[in-house]
Chain A
């Protein structure tokens, strides 16, 4: 298992989750956990995903997700979970 974090932030609209999840399914990225809130019309989602089966290079997935976000008007970011583990856990 190789866990990564996807964050999606932007103005709420119909189909954000569907778009992101379709991309993940198409690329064999498994979703382990999702949490999502709407704060003052702003859509905030965090997903923990497993990227072990994806066959594209990591930077391609990062840029494709970014592009997908731009197309639907939100900010999508994929990062390896280690940065959060290191920063916030002793």
Chain B
């Protein structure tokens, strides 16, 4: 029998500690929309998205009311467009992005992810066209998110793509400079990208997936922080136990929402991404958890160990709560979306180099990092290459979402609005990697990739 204490605990988590389901993401396969005629292709894509996702927002709202738990985002991920569309000019890809934007608006989702290319080994002509069209596509649309997978443990790192992306990010920044280069906030570079990630901007519907699938991302840094307050001064054993129990509860809510959404929409359930995802709201921060564990600011000595511990316990607790765990799962450390991280970066406790070290032990990597607008293309490529190498060698997913804010320098701050938050411009190592990036070609896969 349910008791008073449990009901109060759940409702306190929702009301005061920002417990929410971060996103229901409907993955849609678009491979069957492929067509050599651009207008036909766009029509098919638009129709498939608007039919499959017709009830997504409505069902999301119903579940919110039924359980009293906020579901912050309803989103769509689609088959990487470079696999669906094969055209000879970039304009065609830009117009496809506009179609996606229109479809997203029609069904009422706030983001649609999958304007993507998978080029971990080599680039096809359509990959190249799509990548070149990214700056314009992101500047001309509002809800489209784009990603490129440039490496994996099995294939190594496609350095030609890494080089191109330095330029693409810079161009995107320039085209959206009137809004603090916000276009770059909708673009992610991956190494070892998962096929079932419900979190933007990196979400896409992989080729290993169903026709349509429901993936759910849970959140809840505030709840973990609150739970840890009760374990202040306790040793690491007890600390881990507390995180694990809380992660279990958070994930169970996600599992419930996922099953219910899957039932109501008649679409199979894919995975729960059991991640702690922060927001810029006070009390919804990963950095606050790290501080509660015992470091003065995120970035102080001990931070990487604290984050490693947090990430592992979240997975251990969550793994018991859902049998199908996937996506990125762990703790996200975006800078602009996390009040504590913003604070730490502003006072200089947190640097890009420390973030890179932290990304070795947690989900994703350099996320929502604002850098000076005059940062060189090759420097951006170099930063990406470093992060991709961490993913490749350590057989994990890593990503970079970096924003050179045109017209701003260290000491300024960039405003992205909403869930994307705001960020101080962080200093970048000024020394050059021009010759390194100019080499091109591919960094071979590491020796431990030969596991057969």
Contact = CB atoms under 8 A, between A and B. Distances in A.
B2 A5 contact: yes
A86 B251 CA distance: 10
A85 B2 contact: yes
B348 interface: no
Interface string B27-71: 000000000000000000000000000000000001001111100
Contact of A86 (B7, B62, B255): B255
Interface in A20-59: 33, 35, 37, 44, 46, 48, 58-59
- A46, A59, A85 — most chain B CB neighbours (10 Å): A46
Interface string B4-29: 10111111000000000000000000
Interface residues of A, number: 24
How many B residues are at the interface, by size bracket? 20 to 34
B253 interface: yes
Interface string A71-90: 00000011111111111101
B7 A84 contact: yes
- B7, B256, B320 — most chain A CB neighbours (10 Å): B7
- A59, A77, A78, A87 — most chain B CB neighbours (10 Å): A87
B253 A87 contact: yes
A62 interface: yes
B252 interface: yes
Contacts of A80: 66-67
Contact of A77 (B4, B9, B68, B253): B68
A84 B2 contact: yes
B253 to A, nearest CB: 6
A84 B10 contact: yes
A45 B361 CA distance: 44
Main secondary structure of the interface of B (DSSP, over half): helix
Nearest to A35: B4
B69 to A, nearest CB: 6
- A35, A80, A81 — most chain B CB neighbours (10 Å): A80
Nearest to B68: A79
A74 to B, nearest CB: 14
B241 to A, nearest CB: 15
A7 B7 contact: yes
Contacts of A82: 67, 256
Given A5-B2, A35-B4, A87 B10 contact: yes
B249 interface: yes
B262 to A, nearest CB: 14
B220 to A, nearest CB: 11
Nearest to B249: A87
Contacts of B10: 83-84, 87-88
Contacts of B256: 82-83, 86
A5 B9 CA distance: 14
A48 B68 CA distance: 15
Nearest to B254: A86
A82 B320 CA distance: 18
A85 B3 CA distance: 10
A79 B67 contact: yes
A46 B65 contact: no
Contacts of A35: 4
B65 A62 contact: yes
A87 B256 CA distance: 9
Contacts of A46: 4, 7
Nearest to B2: A84
A62 B69 CA distance: 13
A37 to B, nearest CB: 8
Contacts of B249: 87-88
Interface of A: 5, 7, 33, 35, 37, 44, 46, 48, 58-59, 62, 77-88, 90
Given A48-B1, A83-B253, 19 more contacts: A5-B2, A7-B8, A7-B11, A37-B4, A44-B4, A44-B8, A48-B2, A59-B62, A59-B65, A62-B68, A79-B66, A79-B68, A82-B256, A84-B2, A87-B6, A87-B10, A87-B252, A88-B9, A88-B249
Interface of B: 1-2, 4, 6-11, 62, 65-69, 249, 252-253, 255-256, 320
23 contacts: A5-B7, A7-B7, A33-B1, A37-B4, A48-B2, A58-B62, A59-B62, A62-B65, A62-B68, A77-B68, A78-B68, A79-B67, A80-B67, A82-B67, A83-B10, A83-B67, A83-B69, A83-B256, A84-B6, A85-B2, A87-B6, A87-B253, A88-B9
